[in-house]
Amino acid sequence: MASVDFDFTPEQQAFLAEVEAFLDANADPEVFDPTRENMAQIVDTPERRAFMRKVAEKGWMGITWPKEHGGQEGDGVYEYLLNEALARRGGPQIGKGVGIVGKTILRHGSEKLKAEFLPKILNAEVEFAVGYSEPGAGSDAASMQLQAVRDGDEWVLNGQKIWTTSAHFADWYWVGARTNPDAPKHSGITLFLIPMDHPGLTVQGIWTMGDERTNSVFFDDVRISNDYVVGEEGRGFQYISEALDLERFTMFTFSPTKARLELLIDYVRDATRDGEPLKDDPVTRQRIAALATQAEVARVLGLRFLAKSVAGGAAPTSEASEYKLFATEFSKALADASMDVIGAGAQLRVGTEEAPMRGRAESTYRYTVLDTIGGGTSEVQKNIISRRKLGLPKNF
């Protein structure tokens, strides 16, 4: 097995220092909010859009893109360092536009789509919503039934999507629909780009237990030109699968989880229980040691995915699932441990000044459950690992 170098080069460390200096210079509580946990990554306010335009001006939106399309053809490590630095402070990240949408268009999109969308993505001028899940097709995206019927040079879409987090503020909808109901379920799906202000779209908000909004989106005779089909008709699920590997890694950055572990350690270091230092309690010490060990495992799993991605070759699908599964389950375990270690005070709402950790334990306890679902549930990740890594039969 090839070894992995877990140290960053002097050039990479210099880039990270540049990013940190940029973030220091642009610190704004309207932009950076770590208490939003993983949802802090979305670009859902005017202030966050303005900040991302500053990121774009630095040339950081297309670090790994080809130079012919405005990118730098840089190493994916730089993209990783940027996203982790943004996430560490609870800031918006380069996310869906650069990764899921942009990289798929680069690989499979028409020249028209490249010309229309790639410059806007690089300049942070456009935000996307991603529509895969449906009431009857959650983690099994191949079961989607949103119908798209060809009518001359147009397609007509009818049906429903659900759990579309960005639908209420995005400009365009990146959506999968079934274009061939007679084909095997993995072969009858096509990807479309649809403007979110289309009169046939209706967006209804759904509020999550993490105090964040997601949405149901209803399609009523939504007509879209064939020019806005992404790649080949019927190959949408293959494109979705490619993008999901990236989504499972970039959506669940490690640095915020590490920061929450450090908050808990700081609390334990100074707190007392029944007049005795909590840091001397053997059960608490054992639990903190276990969490610190698991945090290092999560970090290294992420670096292993990154190393394989940068090396090229086959897509690191199982590595993406390994990282996503372990990191999100660890994040949830850390939230559970924070509630247990702190005790009754952990139930105080986030932002409460007198609360231990200013209420972060309570908010992360609610938020982290969502992370084990987004990008494919933990159960789905286990199935992917069992088939693609361990070679077990599909119905094992």
Characterise 364 by phi-psi region: left (phi > 0), alpha (psi -120 to 50), beta (else): alpha
Task: Report in angstroms the alpha-carbon separations of 326 from 214, 281, 333.
Answer: 24, 27, 10
**How many angstroms separate the CA atoms of 365 and 37, rounded?**
10
Q: What is the number of other CB atoms lying within 10 angstroms of the CB of residue 157?
A: 25
> Is residue 136 exposed (0-12), middle (13-18) or buried (19+ Cβ within 10 Å)?
exposed
Domain(s) labelled CATH 2.40.110.10 in the chain stretch across: 129-234
Query: pLDDT 10s per residue in the chain (396 long)?
Result: 445 556 889 999 999 999 999 999 999 999 999 999 888 899 999 999 999 999 999 999 999 999 999 999 998 899 999 999 999 999 999 878 998 999 999 999 999 999 999 999 999 999 999 999 999 877 677 889 999 999 999 999 999 999 999 999 999 999 999 999 999 888 999 999 999 999 999 999 999 888 889 999 999 999 999 999 999 999 999 998 887 766 666 778 999 999 999 999 999 999 999 999 999 999 999 999 999 999 999 999 999 988 888 777 666 788 888 999 999 999 999 999 999 999 999 999 998 989 999 999 999 999 898 888 877 888 988 988 998 889 898 764
Domain 252-389 CATH (choose: 3.50.30.20, 3.10.400.10, 3.20.20.120, 1.20.140.10): 1.20.140.10
pTM equals: 0.90
Q: How far apart are CA 305 and CA 318, in angstroms?
A: 9
- State the span(s) of the chain assigned CATH 1.20.140.10: 252-389
Q: Which CATH number fits domain 129-234: 3.30.70.100, 3.40.120.10, 3.40.50.620, 2.40.110.10?
A: 2.40.110.10
